[in-house]
């Protein structure tokens, strides 16, 4: 019996809702599954226990029919209703819904009116201009769908770092247990935000030993070997590439970790200094620089150690040579967090639950920042509900010790650059995050001007998810981020590194620019559930790739220092 964890249950419920929409079922029916998925996502108690005891019925929106389906799914690892529903809809329709701007209703229309059931058929229909004259579509929609198809093609075969890292570490650990030496390398070791393959080095054993070990791992498929490499497909569908070496040397580890441009720069430097730097490290008969550690290798090139995250071939070697590389920020140095949502807007956990969860994680303060009134789709706060929430925070401050609660808001930056409340309302908050949530299609000049105006507002504390991107889903809006960062410096504003794995925005490349001009960042989880608070380390990865040290990150300060900073 295959175990089904909470994440898989949520995914299946959401997919059932989508399949029902594609079949044209009542919205009440599909919404029941979407709502159930959202409620289960926010659960803090063990799902299996709730289902087996029958107390799952106590969860909002879970009636008799749904509880029976959950019992079947959690108890047996499968759900016949879901399997039959999937068979009743062409499989390609689900993939089509992943195209930006193409929702279930439009996909159903394409299926019913044009017989289109796959992304390939849809692309061909666009090439033949068949959508331009289709009712409910038109030329602009066709052009947008075509752009979305190209975007989907680019992201095929990739997964978020946060999605794959646990699986990759399980493979690494299992190989190490069986074979003695195994090390994740490549993009995963550099903590790149989007991953294409799980790359490992294994040493001191045969290729057949590695193939046998991978074949025994649950969920791995298509295991095959070549001369020095074993390949497989992970449970999540990513390529697994294990390179087998005679010995795992520091040079082999370095060579398998850095980007091509970083390694090319090191090789050129080695040539200038007469240091052996071969292209086949770890293989017998190929001379290597004499060093016991990666630190020693960099020292042989006259450089201080460069952390794996920074080995991207940008400015890290120049910065290292000039002595500008300092110890990078670490996750345990984050003392508190901002940008957290509760049930007052679109969060799934209560104010008290979020505070207690942050305290349990060891944070000394938490900033509550629900959505503002223009975000009606997210139950944004009108002024009367701000008063209600602030009273609740005041009461909670008296009951809960050991953690400071800051009153905040995620205020929409309106199209004209104004914030979503008048000044007297904004003045009631300890901090204000300004974020763009609408009008993504403005020109670069207009979008930039919009954000620049917001940065000049005296009540704005920090800029939230600055480019609006959603990794593997939506490109950021057109905006000149260097001008934005320059304006943040001019006005003394903080720029957010949003740690939600789907955002990781500010991008690490721009973190380097922010540091260069002296702009501080705040690493925030943008949590909509207590589980989201655990995303902070993914934001720290971004900061480290951007070369940020603790002093560059405002929330490495303790509660007292943060109180003083917010008070101005």
Pairwise CA distance, residues 327 & 22, whole Å? 52
pLDDT band with cut points at 50, 70 and 90 for residue 279: low
pLDDT band with cut points at 50, 70 and 90 for residue 1: very low
Pairwise CA distance, residues 504 & 538, whole Å? 8
Residue 93 has pLDDT above 70, yes or no: yes
| Of the candidate ranges 87-96, 331-340, 486-495, the one whose mean pLDDT is the lowest | 87-96
Residue 115 has pLDDT above 80, yes or no: yes
Contact 244, 206 (CB under 8 A): yes
Give the residue carrying structure tokens 């019913």.
Answer: 112
Kindly state the average pLDDT of the residues 461-477. 91
Cβ count near 402 (within 10 Å): 8
Contact 286, 280 (CB under 8 A): yes
H runs (alpha helix) in 274-409: 294-300, 316-321, 351-360, 383-399
Instruction: Say what the pLDDT of residue 101 is.
Output: 77
Environment class of residue 84 by beta-carbon count within 10 Å: exposed (0-12), middle (13-18) or buried (19+)? Answer: exposed
Residue 557 has pLDDT above 70, yes or no: yes
Per residue in 503-542, pLDDT tens? 999 999 999 999 999 999 999 999 988 999 999 999 999 9
Residue 285 has pLDDT above 70, yes or no: no
Pairwise CA distance, residues 352 & 354, whole Å? 5
Instruction: Say what the pLDDT of residue 131 is.
Output: 87
pLDDT band with cut points at 50, 70 and 90 for residue 561: very high
Q: What percent of the chain has pLDDT over 90?
A: 67
3-state secondary structure 408-475: EEEEEECCCCCECCCHHHHCCCCEEEEECCCCCCCCHHHHHHHHHHHHCCCCCCEECCCCCCECCCEC
C-alpha neighbours within 13 Å on the C-beta side of residue 387:
4
Pairwise CA distance, residues 81 & 557, whole Å? 52
Pairwise CA distance, residues 481 & 487, whole Å? 10
In angstroms, how far is CA 412 from the centroid of its own chain?
Answer: 22
Q: How far is CA 275 from CA 54, 270, 288, 320, 548, in A?
A: 68, 5, 9, 18, 30
Looking at residue 528, what DSSP letter applies?
S
Residue 281 has pLDDT above 80, yes or no: no
Per residue in 355-365, pLDDT tens? 999 999 999 99
Per-residue buried b or exposed e for 120-155, using 16+ beta carbons within 10 Å of the residue's own CB = ebbbebbeeebbeebeebeeebbebbbebbebbeee
Contact 179, 211 (CB under 8 A): no
Residue 283 has pLDDT above 60, yes or no: no
pTM of the model: 0.81
Pairwise CA distance, residues 90 & 376, whole Å? 35
> What is the Cα Rg of the chain in Å?
26
Per residue in 125-160, pLDDT tens? 887 778 887 888 988 898 889 888 877 777 778 889
Instruction: Say what the pLDDT of residue 456 is.
Output: 98
Mean confidence (pLDDT) of the chain: 91
| Of the candidate ranges 73-77, 293-297, 366-370, 480-484, the one whose mean pLDDT is the lowest | 73-77
Residue 288 has pLDDT above 70, yes or no: no
């Amino acid at each position: 019996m295959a175990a089904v964890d909470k994440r898989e249950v949520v995914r299946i419920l959401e997919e059932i809702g989508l399949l029902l929409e594609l079949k044209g079922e009542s919205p009440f029916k599909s919404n029941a599954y979407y709502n159930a998925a959202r409620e289960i996502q926010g659960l803090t108690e063990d799902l299996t226990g709730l289902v087996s005891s029958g107390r799952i019925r106590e969860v909002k929106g879970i009636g008799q029919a749904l509880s029976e389906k959950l019992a079947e799914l959690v108890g047996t690892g499968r759900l016949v209703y879901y399997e039959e529903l999937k068979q009743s809809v062409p499989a390609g329709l689900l993939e089509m819904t992943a195209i930006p701007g193409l929702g279930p209703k439009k996909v159903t229309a394409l299926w019913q009116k044009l017989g289109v059931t796959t992304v390939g058929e849809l692309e061909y229909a666009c090439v033949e201009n068949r959508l331009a004259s289709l009712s409910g579509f038109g030329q602009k929609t066709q052009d947008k769908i075509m752009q979305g198809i190209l975007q989907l093609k680019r992201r095929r075969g990739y997964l978020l770092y946060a999605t794959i890292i646990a699986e990759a570490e399980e493979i690494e650990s299992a190989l190490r247990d069986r074979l003695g030496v195994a090390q994740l390398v490549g993009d995963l070791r550099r903590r790149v935000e989007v991953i294409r393959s799980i790359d490992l080095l294994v040493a001191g054993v045969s290729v057949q030993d590695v193939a046998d070990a991978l074949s025994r791992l649950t969920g791995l498929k298509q295991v095959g070997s070549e001369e020095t490499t074993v390949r497989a497909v992970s449970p999540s569908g990513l390529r697994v590439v294990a390179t087998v070496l005679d010995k795992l040397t520091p040079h082999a580890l370095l060579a398998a970790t850095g980007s091509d441009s970083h390694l090319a720069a090191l090789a050129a430097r080695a040539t200038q200094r007469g240091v052996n730097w071969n292209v086949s490290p770890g293989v017998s008969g190929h001379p290597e620089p004499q060093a016991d550690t990666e630190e020693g290798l960099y020292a042989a090139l006259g450089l201080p150690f460069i952390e794996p995250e920074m080995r991207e071939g940008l400015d890290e070697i120049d910065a290292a040579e000039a002595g500008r590389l300092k110890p990078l920020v670490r996750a345990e140095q984050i003392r508190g967090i901002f940008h957290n949502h509760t049930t007052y807007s679109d969060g799934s956990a209560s104010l008290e639950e979020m505070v207690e969860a942050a305290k349990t994680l060891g944070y000394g303060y938490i900033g509550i920042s629900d959505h503002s009134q223009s975000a009606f789709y997210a139950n944004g706060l009108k002024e009367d509900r701000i008063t209600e929430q602030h009273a609740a925070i005041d009461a909670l401050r008296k009951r809960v010790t050991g953690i400071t609660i800051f009153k905040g808001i995620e205020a929409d930056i309106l199209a004209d650059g104004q914030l979503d409340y008048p000044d007297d309302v904004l003045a009631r908050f300890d901090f204000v995050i300004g974020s763009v949530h609408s009008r993504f299609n403005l020109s670069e000049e207009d979008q930039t001007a919009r954000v620049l105006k917001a940065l000049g507002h005296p009540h704005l504390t920090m800029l939230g998810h600055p480019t609006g991107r959603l990794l593997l889903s939506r490109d950021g809006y057109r905006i000149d981020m260097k001008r934005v960062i320059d304006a943040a410096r001019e006005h003394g504003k903080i720029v957010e590194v949003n740690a939600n794995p789907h955002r990781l925005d500010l991008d690490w490349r721009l973190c380097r620019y922010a540091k260069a001009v002296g702009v501080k960042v705040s690493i925030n989880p943008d949590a909509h559930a207590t589980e989201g608070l655990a995303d902070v380390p993914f934001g720290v990865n971004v900061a480290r790739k951007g070369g940020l040290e603790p002093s560059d990150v405002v929330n490495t300060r303790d509660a007292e220092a943060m109180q003083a900073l917010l008070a101005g």
